[in-house]
Structures are given as C-alpha cells and as structure tokens.
Structure 1
Amino acid sequence: IPEYKIVKEVVVTTSPLTTYTVQPKEGKWRIAYKYGVTVQELEDLNPDMKDVLQPGDVVNVPNKDAETIKEVDEKYSYYTVLPKEGFYRIKLKTGLSQEELEQLNPELVETGLKEGMVLKIPFKSENSTIEGVVSSMTTNTGKVDLTKSDIDTETKKIAIMLPFGLNKVDTDSIYDTKKQIETDRYLSVSLDFYTGVRVALDSLQDLGVNLKVDVFDTQNRESEVASILRSNDFSETSAVIGPLMPKLFNDVASRLKNDNVPIISPLTKTVDLGDNVFQSRPSEDMLEDAVINYFKKDSTAHVIIISDRKHKTVSDKLKREFTRASVLSSRTERKTGKDAYYVLDLDIVNVLKPGKNVVFLETDNPGFVSNVSSLLNSKIVTGTDIILTTTKMDKAFEDEEVRNTHLSNLNFTYSDIKKSYNEDENNSFAKRYMSTYNELPNSYAVRGFDITMDVVLRLVTSEDLYLSANLSPLTSYVENKFAYKKKLFGGYY
C-alpha cells in the first residue's frame, strides 16, 4: 500500500502598509520623503489626515524594509515637485541639472519626476524664497551671536595642527630662539596664530564651554603629518583646525573623510573642497565679485577702468560687467613699448564726468598707484565725486610711495577677508590679549582667535559643524565674518 506524505505550506502574507508615529517637527513632506512616496500618495493612504500633523499622530505608510527608509539630512534643503513640472523648469528655479538631481536622488533614474515627489537639493539660504522648497529648519540669514545661544556643556574634542617646527628650535639660547622666531616664517605665523587660539580658549572657558584640545606640530613635513595621523585616533574629534599648508591640509582632510571629521582651513587660499572641508577664507574670485556687485548697485555712477598692460584681462572683465564704463590704459615707453606705469593729467580729465565717478585701478605697481591717486585727488571739486576702488587689494596700495591722504580723500574701497577694528576701542579681545602678552595682536593672532571662537561656538550650539552651517549662516567676531555655503558635491566655502 503506497504511503503519501502530506506537506502543508504556510504562506505568510505581508501587509503593504504599516503605521508610523509622527515625531516632533515632522510634516507631511518629511514622512513622504522617508518612505519614497509623494505627498498626495501619503494623503491617499490617510483619508482622515489633518492638514497639520502633531507629534504622536499615527499615520499609514508603505511597509518597507528598514534599510530602504530614507533619513532627512539636515545639511540639505528639500523640494516638492509642482504640477506639470519637468527637469528644465526645476533647473531654472534651483540651478540644478537633471544629472545633478539624479545624483542626489538616485530613485529619479527609475521613476522620473512625479508631482508631489520630494527631492533633496543643496542647502542655500536663498532657496527659502523658491516656490516648492520645503525645510523643517528655521534659518536665520542675518548675523547670529552664538555667545548668546544655549551652550552644550558636554566636553568637545578639537585638534589644532600648525607648522611650529619646534624640532629645529634651539631652546638653550634665548637669543637664538628669538632670532629664529624673527626669521622662520612658519614658526612666527604659527606662534602668532596660536596666541589668538589661547585667548579664545580662555574666553570659551568663561562661557562655560568644556573642551579637550590637542595641539600638533606638523613641522611642515608630510612624514610628520602621516605619523600624527597614524599615532592618534581622530574618530571622536569634533573638528580639526589646520594644517596651514595646502598639500598637508589636503592629506589630513582625505584621511579624516571616512570618519566624517570636519577640517577647517584657517589661512590657505586654495584647498581641495572635499565633503568634510570648511574653507574659512573667501577665494580671490569671491572678493572680486563682492566689490563688483557692490558698485553695480549704484546705476547713477560713471565707472572708469584704469589698468596697466599686465592687468588687461581684469580690465576686460570689468568692461563686460560695466558696459558703459570708460577704459584707460597706462602709457608705454616709446622705444621699447613696455609699460611705463603712468597716465597723463589730460587722460584723467577726458574720462571724468560731473557727478559720481567710480574708478577701478587694476595694478600691482606702487608708482602707478601713486600716479593715478595723485591725479584723481587733484580733480576732486564741488560737483565731482571720485571713489577709488580695486578688485584686488595689493601691497602696491600700501607702499610708501602712495599717500594715505589721497586714498582717504578718494574714499578708497576694496574687498578684504577681514574687517578692521580700532585697537583703542572697548575691545575685550584686544584688552585680554594685551594683558596676557603685553602687546597688541597682529592679524594672525586675531585670525586664530576668530576661527577658534567660531568653530567651537558652532559645535556647542548645534548638533555638529555641518548642521551649524545651515542654522547659523553668518557669524562675526573681531575682524572676521564666517558664512559657509555648501558646494553641490563637496565641502563648505
């Protein structure tokens, strides 16, 4: 008699829906983004959903694996696709191409755009005015005084890397040590910067900030930096300030990228802008654009562009920006055709007009600056206002050949990475520095103070440095302001 084995197969059916409890500050767009649906699809799943969700509300959402649920990254803004909107129209609003949107939102490659879909886009404070942009964060585009914010008293760990080169300092001789500080550029800049850091640390302690600070001497050598990174664990470090030199800075930033440790460039003009990099110094292009945009606001002024042959490219750019501007080039030597670095009185007379005149002087030659500023100064009369400016403040404008009274009379205006402060005014930093070191701080010391204050205060008033760049977009200290923007695929500048 054959025997039959009966096998029972139990089929477990998985519900396509599950429930989700609304968290504080969560709106419909956040939940829709997390679960990969449009706002309309979320509303369809919840016919009785209120217009404004409250913490503790329970809503229906797609039943998805935990690893497929997206998290809202506070370092970005979010955009809700509007009816009949395609990639071209979104690009006009946000400046993002289809390829860039797909890189930020990989699901777009398969699904394409859908009305109500929530897309991740780079955070910019100006995005808040664009129709369709949503964000749970209340951003403040004005200046923020972080010393008056609530401070997290939990101990933060930071590191500072400077090229002291103490291995080369002869500590047995006070005379030789002083001489070395005077002649060794890296050592003197590092010491000046660090004195500002020390004053900042004292000020932060007064505010109730708890810090663990590691200071490393890079010796301005790749091998020493490699040894520092190899011998120390930076995974719990909240931020690293330095190194100063571009190559070493880029090496450290690359090594710390995997641990997502923010690294701040304090002085260097050009560094690789990786995801974890904060470039605290504005680029030359940004400074140039700032002065151009400043004078563009006044459409009533007559613009005059004066340059030597070396700076013709800058002159041509200015002419494209100010199409009605008068252009004047320096005279040349008759025999050689080389730049003679001067203009004649008649040259100036021919381009000046009654009313307001803005004169761009593009040169790095002190004699040319002296020549032009002297002639312009002599043309200041009732009914003719003259403002002297330049796209790049150079040492030529500070040379002893150039009379400061002329620059002052011409309201000399330029972009700089720092603002000036009066050393005699009621300045708590200057007073504290003087009482500690018995001398006034130089620009490197002020920079050290400002950078340290900003980095640490951002850390103790926000979840991390990345989020602080959004929540506190503009901060200001003794000489320096900091307002970071995120590069689309890169760090902060």
Structure 2
Amino acid sequence: MNHLVSIKHLLSGLALLVLISSCSSTRKSTSKVDGPPPSLSKPKPEKKPEDNKKEAAKAPFNVPAFGKEVKKASYNIAFFAPLYLDSVFANSTEIPGRTMPRYVLPGLEFYEGAQLALDTLQQLGYNLKVTVYDSKARQSVSSLIRSKALDETDLILGAVSNPELKELSDFAKSKEINFVSGTYPNDGGISDNPFLYISNSTLKTHCDALQNYIQDAFTNKNIVLFRRNTAFETRLAADFKASYEKMESTRKSRIREVVWNEATTPEEISKYLLTDRTNAVIITALDEAGAKSMLRKLSVSAATYPLQIFGMPTWDVIKLKEPEFKGLQVYYSSPYFNDKTDYYSRYISDYFRRVYKARPSDMAFKGFDLTYYFIKLLYSNGVYFNSMVSNAPKVITNYNFLPVYLKEGEQTPSYFENKNIYIIQKGDSADIKMNK
C-alpha cells in the first residue's frame, strides 16, 4: 500500500493539530465515497429519538443493563488504534525518510478499513459522532478516562493490547458500555466483564476447534501432538487434552503427546506414526522457525506415512515455498476468512484502488468488517444490543459471539468471545477453507 498517501489521508481526516495535541479527534468523512454500495440499506428512522429505557422482565445473561432498551438519534463511538503519531511525527509533520515504520502499519490499516465503514454508514444516514484515539499517544488511555473524555460513549471499538485492553475493559464495565476488542487474541487476564467482546479468538478456543475438527474429520486416525518443553506449549497441550476430555463422542481417539527439540531426529518422530491410517499431527509451535523445523523433520516421513498436519493460527502468514515442504498437507485455524469475492470485499478493494492506488490489507478488511458489523447492531438494537449479537447478519466473515464463563457456577459471563473458527489448508497460490 502507498502508506505515504495513507498517512496524509489519515491526518487530514483526523484534524491534525487537534489530534497531535490531544490524541483524539471527532471523525469526519475524509474523502467522498462514490455512493455506498446499492445493496446496503439505510437505517430505519426512530419514532422516538430520545432515549427510551425499558426494563425487561428478565435481563439477558443476568446483566441488568442488557434488559434495557436504549435507542438514540445519534450515537457516540470511541475508536482506538495504535497509530504512534507522537513517535512518527516527534519533530515535524513530515514522515522521516518518507517511509512509514513497519510497527505503524497494522493499526493504520485497521483504521483505514474502519474509516471506510464509517464514511459509508454516515452517507447511508447513520448519525454518528466518532472520536478516534491513538492508543499509543503520549496522552494515555488512563488519563483519558480520568478526564472523563469517554463518559458519554455508547460503544468502544479498539485494536488494542495490554495495558490498554485492561484499562478500557475496566472502564467499560464501570460505565456499562460495550467494548469490542478487534485484534488481540487474548482476554488479557479479564474474567468478569460481560460488556467485553473478544473478536480475535483466544488460543484455547483454537485448540477446541482444531481438536473437534480432527476427531470428526477422520474415522480411522492416529492423533499425535508435538510440543516443545516450554511452559507455554505445555499449557497449549493441556488445552487440547482438556478439549478431548470434554468432547462427547464414541468416535474420538486419544491424543498422544510427544516432546521434541531441535535434536529430535526424523527417525525418532516416525516411531509415533502409523502406516495404515491417517496421522493427524498437531504442532503447538507458534513461531515460524519452530514450525518449519518440525515440518522439515516430518517431511522425511511423508512418503511412508499418511500425514495431515495442523498448526497454530499464527501459521496464516508462514510461506511454505521450500522444496522439502512440497506435497505436505498443512492446515491452520483462524477466526477470520475472506476469499475477497463477496460484495463488500469488492467494494473495499475498488475504494482502495481508487483512493490509495493499492490493494487493501487483511487488517483493512477486518477494520471495515468489525466496524460495520457492530455499528449496524448498535443502530438496529440500541446501546444494549447484546441479546441480538448471535442473530446479526454477516458482513464479510462469520462471527459467533458466545458467553464465556471462566468461573464454576457463574451466572454472568466473564466476557463474550467469537467462537467461529475456520480450518484452513495452506495452498500454493491461495489458502482453502475446509469447514463452514
């Protein structure tokens, strides 16, 4: 992407002087979208624009706020992304070297997608006051909270990690504001906030999905989990085994756990493989070096043993171009899949081609998707849309937000998490979705 064009577009839209001085700005449409997609519908006018609060007989999920109907003529949205503007423009408003630092790009691209969603919705008649905050600005999230700048917010959308995730979560809980965490694959230690939505599913959810898929996909299988002797991978192995124990199926096969290291030979690995059935191999390495090291060891056995290899969600960006990987059937899990053929994706791609002279990144698609999805929910159902999330129409990818109860016997969710996980096979030219 032409990020020099992108940052100029960003700065013009955020009212540069205000943004740099206070790390926030009211969002304005930054460039004309040549008409929203004709298939998108305008919001239905509210008969009563003033707040209308009704207590339900029984609040959904045992959260009293969720039993209220709060609809407004205009909604206040707080949008957080790690833009690092104070760092990039520490000495001037010019980009040093005319090249954006790599650490800026994910947050910038997520914002660009969200910006297009906001522009589109506003042209459709959605009355929104959107304030964009740089979560990595000198003015911290905690200071924003103390200044009461967020007190009138109706929805928080954020591409943030800790400590900002925890700070925003605590604030959202105290003010009963729904907060959507868009990109962080972790609950950040949060265990008591039913107003939190985790879109980028946790690793435990990935483990559940992979284990269930393997058990169901192969009737006659030998499941072997290879992990290294680290606390992190040991915990992942425990999650897989817990998922196995929880699964109620007469067809399930036990998971054999093997500890490996760089000195482990292909011959030692082959002792755990069988020739007469599918060997479903799970590798818990999240890093590319570890993943490829294990794949090289397995490639020696590929001609003798039928292998189906399952890796972690971080494998989505790993390229397997080396000759030794040719012919290996490798899969990974992901909460997000976009073949870029749907209507919205083509709309986004056309916009980016015209405005940025480049293709949108996956982060840009995610920014558009989440922003459009949740603001449609907000406008259709009011501030407390929580009971309707499971019925919300798809935009680009499918979401399945379900309540998570971390404490035994709890009646109130610890948070809501996207439980929709795709199993994806890595391909030479494009990855292939294996499940619905």
Place the TM-score, normalised by the shorter chain, in its bin: 0.5 to 0.7
CA distance in 2, matches of 1:360, 1:257: 38
Q: In the TM superposition, what are the counterparts of 1:303-382 in structure 2 within 5 Å? A: 303-310=222-229, 311=233, 314=236, 318=240, 321=244, 323-324=253-254, 330=260, 339-344=262-267, 348=270, 351-363=273-285, 364=287, 365-379=290-304
CA distance in 2, matches of 1:252, 1:327: 39
Residue of structure 1 equivalent to 2:98 = 178
8 A Cα contact 1:241 1:265, kept in partner: yes
Q: In the TM superposition, what are the counterparts of 1:60-459 in structure 2 within 5 Å? A: 71-76=56-61, 154-168=73-87, 169-170=89-90, 172=92, 174-176=94-96, 178-179=98-99, 181-183=100-102, 185=103, 187-221=104-138, 224-242=140-158, 244-268=160-184, 269-271=186-188, 272=190, 273-298=192-217, 300-310=219-229, 311=233, 314=236, 318=240, 321=244, 323-324=253-254, 330=260, 339-344=262-267, 348=270, 351-363=273-285, 364=287, 365-379=290-304, 386-390=307-311, 392-395=312-315, 398=318, 402=322, 406=326, 409-422=327-340, 427-459=346-378
CA distance in 2, matches of 1:292, 1:366: 18
Q: What does the per-residue CA deviation read over 1:251-285, in whole Å, with 9 as the maximum and x for residues that have no partner?
A: 23323433312122122223325232222221110
Query: TM-score, length-normalised on structure 1?
Result: 0.58
Flag the 1:436–1:300 CA change in 2: closer, same or farther, 3 A: same
CA distance in 1, matches of 2:238, 2:142: 45
Which of the two has higher C-alpha Rg?
Answer: 1
Shift of 1:202: 2.6
8 A Cα contact 1:386 1:410, kept in partner: yes
Aligned residue pair count: 335
Q: Which runs of 5+ in 2 are unaligned?
A: 1-54, 245-251, 406-410, 418-436
CA distance in 1, matches of 2:72, 2:200: 29
Flag the 1:316–1:455 CA change in 2: closer, same or farther, 3 A: closer
Q: Which shifted more, 271-280 or 306-315?
A: 306-315
Shift of 1:239: 0.1
Secondary structure of the residue that 1:352 maps to in structure 2?
coil
RMSD over aligned Cα atoms: 3.8
CA distance in 2, matches of 1:453, 1:491: 21
Q: Which shifted more, 192-201 or 317-326?
A: 317-326
Flag the 1:161–1:199 CA change in 2: closer, same or farther, 3 A: same
Q: What does the per-residue CA deviation read over 1:167-190, in whole Å, with 9 as the maximum and x for residues that have no partner?
A: 3315746451634x225x2x3322
CA distance in 1, matches of 2:275, 2:390: 44
8 A Cα contact 2:222 2:273, kept in partner: no
8 A Cα contact 2:204 2:236, kept in partner: no
Q: What does the per-residue CA deviation read over 1:13-66, in whole Å, with 9 as the maximum and x for residues that have no partner?
A: xxxxxxxxxxxxxxxxxxxxxxxxxxxxxxxxxxxxxxxxxxxxxxxxxxxxxx
Q: What does the per-residue CA deviation read over 1:434-459, in whole Å, with 9 as the maximum and x for residues that have no partner?
A: 22222112222222112211110110
8 A Cα contact 2:342 2:396, kept in partner: no
Structure 2 counterpart of 1:75, which letter?
P
Structure 1 counterpart of 2:141, which letter?
V
Q: Which shifted more, 154-163 or 479-488?
A: 479-488
Query: TM-score, length-normalised on structure 2?
Result: 0.64
CA distance in 2, matches of 1:261, 1:278: 11
8 A Cα contact 1:253 1:274, kept in partner: yes
Q: What does the per-residue CA deviation read over 1:330-371, in whole Å, with 9 as the maximum and x for residues that have no partner?
A: 4xxxxxxx6414412x85387223354422234351443332
Flag the 1:270–1:356 CA change in 2: closer, same or farther, 3 A: same
CA distance in 1, matches of 2:94, 2:145: 32
Shift of 1:225: 2.2
CA distance in 2, matches of 1:461, 1:75: 17
CA distance in 2, matches of 1:227, 1:316: 39
Flag the 1:471–1:233 CA change in 2: closer, same or farther, 3 A: same
Higher relative contact order (CA 8 A, sep 6+): 2
> Are positions 1:481 and 2:399 aligned together?
yes
Flag the 1:398–1:341 CA change in 2: closer, same or farther, 3 A: farther
CA distance in 2, matches of 1:208, 1:318: 47
Shift of 1:327: 5.7
Secondary structure of the residue that 1:478 maps to in structure 2?
coil
Secondary structure of the residue that 1:492 maps to in structure 2?
strand
Flag the 1:435–1:224 CA change in 2: closer, same or farther, 3 A: same
Q: Which shifted more, 275-284 or 482-491?
A: 482-491
Shift of 1:214: 1.0
Shift of 1:213: 0.8
8 A Cα contact 2:159 2:183, kept in partner: no
Shift of 1:294: 1.3
CA distance in 1, matches of 2:131, 2:324: 43
Secondary structure of the residue that 1:351 maps to in structure 2?
coil
8 A Cα contact 2:378 2:385, kept in partner: no
CA distance in 2, matches of 1:376, 1:422: 36
8 A Cα contact 1:276 1:491, kept in partner: yes
CA distance in 1, matches of 2:316, 2:203: 17
Q: What does the per-residue CA deviation read over 1:421-442, in whole Å, with 9 as the maximum and x for residues that have no partner?
A: 2479972222222222221122
CA distance in 2, matches of 1:316, 1:229: 38
Shift of 1:196: 0.8
Secondary structure of the residue that 2:79 maps to in structure 1?
strand
8 A Cα contact 1:239 1:263, kept in partner: yes
Q: Which runs of 5+ in 1 are unaligned?
A: 1-69, 77-103, 105-119, 124-134, 136-151, 331-337
Q: In the TM superposition, what are the counterparts of 1:456-475 in structure 2 within 5 Å? A: 456-464=375-383, 466-470=384-388, 472-473=390-391, 475=393
8 A Cα contact 1:430 1:440, kept in partner: yes
